[in-house]
Chain A
């Protein structure tokens, strides 16, 4: 029996573990090691250079710009996205016209809103990015011609071509595509809050704004927190890579105005032939990601509310 058990365990874990180790764990370990070498990625030879890459990082303007933008992505995007989503979810669940026997009720058509808002979430981020790249086109894009149509012909920003605007345009696309997910997530959370809480509060004369801050928000704390981490990691990694790489010229925008860490890793490794330096930027990205997750976890640490 015991013998059979261990053979079974080994048999079942061998394939997944081998795959995971070879393609995920081992490259991670290697990349940290490579960050101390001068490997170009073009030839197999390299030698150890100690902290040279890290020193170079300190003097690299593009790195600092990417870091700045990545931090903006990690901090501002979740705030805006989660804030908007909380607002919409509260409207959907509590903003309805009061009906018989219920202190709070959802708006009519709440299921429609939840379905529609979720649409962008199932689309590939690459497709979303392409779509908005057209929409932002200054000459013939949907946005500027829409502005012309409503009589704002003088307001014709260059959008992605304007170094001051490009980053915000890119971020808006991520907000657009992610809000729906959180609306649905928070709606589910809000639906599980007992209605009596709202009834009691409203009877005591609390306004709906007060019920939001005193009842809804504290009870959704855990959901918001995990959503926050999830969003931040996405905004630092895959999602921001796709939108910046696809949407902005360069890629990376006019004068590196939209470049982010993850894109800079990619460009250093596969365009500039600086594989070791790329892994160094990657290590910085790793540190930022872990620090972000730790900070959110720490800020959110608090007694669990039971109800």
Chain B
């Protein structure tokens, strides 16, 4: 992680606020140092407060997942009397968390692979080839970014129903891919435009077909872009709630976010709040852990689009 310059001495004292401030010049003299310190104390205070507000609910959830039901209701802030690991095993097996996990993994694996493959194919063609209708197709794709999905979901429900894709894992995969294409195409088109043309031309002259050039030359070169957009899509698809809520109501095919909400609605399956909290934390921790490990890539991937 990039830190803003730490002075060599590490805990050096505040020295001069202004580099080479001429003595007596400017209203900052003398007062400048004090003002800097007040500001520093203030900003630390505010920043610590918000950090507390962000981290606290998450820690509270982890703590609660180890308590029994009585303790959850009688004293929400007290530490657990002992670590109730049975909440976790109960949630994993009896509350079907294992099934929801497996469904989510299946759906996300399928749709992420599909999104990256189809998205890069479309983006490559749109970025590197001139043909009638190129602009039109490009705007058709990226137009999807600004439309409210819910509008399309009502007819989509019936389209899916007619072609027997409603409540199926593969149907959900196809829909995820379709709704991920706008941003993916937008991002990768910009990315393919930045890649040098010379390598692809050399490959073509050497007799490689367009298809082969794409898979063996261009796609490996586009790896950084694929990783960024891949992380963006991974998190989006893993956390998706609206699409499965509408298109996937079969209890056996529920994904994590849906399954958890289902548990909460049915009063934490027979009033088992501790198990529900265990499930909640179970769904939360893998993503948080992955974020801590890969935070640079995650941040770059998620903010890539907004910075363009």
Contact = CB atoms under 8 A, between A and B. Distances in A.
B251 to A, nearest CB: 16
Contacts of A116: 51, 54-55
Contact of A113 (B51, B77, B147, B209): B51
Interface string B104-137: 0000000000000011011011100101000001
A99 B308 CA distance: 33
Chain B, interface residues (CB within 8 Å), range: 35 or more
Given A41-B154, A103-B17, A124 B239 contact: yes
Contacts of B129: 5, 8-9
B254 to A, nearest CB: 11
Main secondary structure of the interface of A (DSSP, over half): helix
B14 A127 contact: no
Nearest to B141: A20
Given A95-B40, A145-B75, A181-B302, A266 B146 contact: no
Given A282-B148, A286-B148, A266 B246 contact: yes
Q: Binding site of B, secondary structure by majority: helix, strand, loop or mixed?
A: helix
B269 interface: no
A68 interface: no
Nearest to A241: B242
A275 B15 CA distance: 68
Nearest to B160: A23
B83 interface: no
Interface string B32-43: 110111011011
B154 A122 contact: no
A80 interface: no
Contacts of A233: 146, 148
A103 B18 contact: yes
B57 A142 contact: yes
Given A28-B152, A188-B307, A113 B284 contact: no
Interface in A186-243: 188-189, 191, 199, 202-205, 208, 223, 226-227, 229-230, 233, 236-238, 241-242
Given A130-B280, A237-B150, A91 B47 contact: yes
Contacts of B241: 124-126, 238, 241-242
B36 to A, nearest CB: 5
Contacts of A30: 155, 159
A122 B124 contact: no
B154 A31 contact: yes
Given A31-B151, A93-B4, A103-B18, A208 B57 contact: no
A261 B75 CA distance: 38
B148 A237 contact: yes
Contacts of A203: 18, 21, 25-26, 28
Contacts of A265: 150-151, 153-154
Nearest to B240: A124
Nearest to B210: A8
A248 interface: no
B17 A16 contact: no
A21 to B, nearest CB: 9
